[in-house]
A = this chain, B = another copy of it.
Amino acid sequence: VLTGDSVATTLKEIAAALGLSPVSVSKALRGSGRISEETRRRVMEAARKMRYRPHGAARSMREGRTGIIGLIYSTEQTKGNLPLEQLSAIQEALSENSFDLMLAEVPTGQLGQPGKTSSLLRHWMADGMLINHQIALPEAVNELVEGDHVPAIWINSKQPHNCVFFDDYGAGRRAAEHLLQLGHRRIAYLDYGHPAQTLYAPYHYSVLDRYLGYEHAMQAAGLQPRLIMAPDGIGAGERVAACRQWLAQPDRPTAVIAYSTNNTTPLQFAAAEIGLKLPRDLSLIAFSGVTPPDSDLRLTLMLQSYRRLGQQSVHRLMGRLAADAGAQASQEPLAIPIDLYHGQSCVPPPGQ
């Protein structure tokens, strides 16, 4: 506007306006090289007045790096899970390392079609990649990442190398042990079954790991694991009824570990209908990524910090980038612990 031109201001223009060379202007603006304090001030002021913004592409080309990290993700629940908290943590961590974040959503549905893959994947635009996608990566991504042509870190996915994921197995154990210490013996594990299971599709490792952690803790205590779960899933309308049935048995569990807070509401309703009062008659631990909004009963949780997940994945990626380009040393998998959040839903079993 000041220059009367709709095109961006360039170094050359500033130079011309001040009777300097573009090089001096460049030096002045970045504070590198030798430049007089006087010139520096004049340049800074002119740049501000002329609304100068450095041309990112030009700088990238010159410096041989873009300063951009790509995040590959899917919003399909069965293929990926990207909480906003994680995204925000990634952004913040990248910002601290002077990187920008570019997104590439893996399109739902057909994967292979070459025309639809993001140009972030087809072009050379990012210095590194974060992959928040668990299942069935499109060919374009695979070539890029598995061929090791771009340093990448897998998020929330168990891989042989270069991955950051939650320690769901340990958390399953920890949940069971907490209840065991309180004196519980009849502890059940609750999952309504994943939609993916019905389709032969592989499902997220946490589905198995959380259960296994629970199972091993029970076995270590000489107790029988009890899986409350219909292999082919339980429909939405039938859940309360199913839970009622489970709770009506004489040797009903005194405590339940739930795969997700999504699973607990029907159970709580069923308990209420039968006349069981929580937590007195039934203790409850659920996995969750967020402390749920206030209600009458603050649930005890295995609380996944998606913030830490995001931070650590960036940290690892920065590590790979720092290693001299030729080396690109692989990194060992990193398991993020899941903390026990003490709510109000766990007490010793009745009659104890």
Question: Would you give the 0/1 interface string for A115-145, flagging 1 where the beta carbon is closer than 8 Å to chain B?
Answer: 0101110111100000000000000000100
Q: Which residues of A (54-107) have their CB < 8 Å from a CB of B? A: 54-61, 66-68, 75, 82, 84-85, 87-88, 91-92, 95, 98, 100-105, 107
Flag if A88 contacts B105 (CB, 8 Å): yes
Return chain B residues, CB-CB under 8 Å to A67.
119
Q: Counting CB contacts under 8 A, is A295 at the interface? A: yes
A53 closest partner in B (C-beta): B124
Return chain B residues, CB-CB under 8 Å to A266.
295
Q: Counting CB contacts under 8 A, is A147 at the interface? A: yes
Flag if B84 contacts A125 (CB, 8 Å): no
Q: Counting CB contacts under 8 A, is A197 at the interface? A: no
A296 closest partner in B (C-beta): B269
Flag if B125 contacts A100 (CB, 8 Å): yes
A81 closest partner in B (C-beta): B84
A190 CB, nearest partner CB in chain B, Å = 15
Q: Counting CB contacts under 8 A, is A1 at the interface? A: yes
Q: Which residues of A (1-41) have their CB < 8 Å from a CB of B? A: 1, 6-8
Q: Counting CB contacts under 8 A, is A294 at the interface? A: yes
Flag if A75 contacts B88 (CB, 8 Å): yes
Q: Counting CB contacts under 8 A, is A236 at the interface? A: yes
Flag if A123 contacts B54 (CB, 8 Å): yes
Measured in the bound complex, the distance between the Cα atoms of B83 and A309 in whole Å is 20
Flag if A237 contacts B294 (CB, 8 Å): yes
Q: Counting CB contacts under 8 A, is A51 at the interface? A: yes
Return chain B residues, CB-CB under 8 Å to A57.
56-58, 60-61, 66, 124-125
Residue from the list B58, B75, B107 in contact with A61, Cβ < 8 A: B58
Return chain B residues, CB-CB under 8 Å to A296.
240, 269
Flag if B100 contacts A6 (CB, 8 Å): no
Q: Which residues of A (305-352) have their CB < 8 Å from a CB of B? A: 325-326, 328
Residue from the list B8, B101, B149, B262 in contact with A102, Cβ < 8 A: B101
A321 CB, nearest partner CB in chain B, Å = 13
Question: 10 tightest CB-CB pairs across the interface, nearest first?
Answer: A236-B294, A57-B60, A56-B125, A56-B123, A57-B57, A57-B61, A75-B88, A91-B105, A53-B124, A101-B103
21 contacts between A and B (CB under 8 A): A6-B325, A7-B325, A51-B147, A53-B124, A54-B122, A55-B61, A56-B60, A57-B57, A75-B88, A82-B84, A92-B107, A95-B118, A98-B119, A100-B103, A100-B118, A100-B125, A102-B103, A103-B103, A236-B294, A262-B293, A269-B295
Having A54-B123, A56-B66, one finds 15 other A-B pairs with CB under 8 Å, namely A7-B325, A8-B124, A56-B123, A57-B60, A57-B124, A98-B119, A100-B119, A100-B125, A101-B102, A101-B103, A236-B294, A237-B294, A239-B294, A265-B293, A269-B296
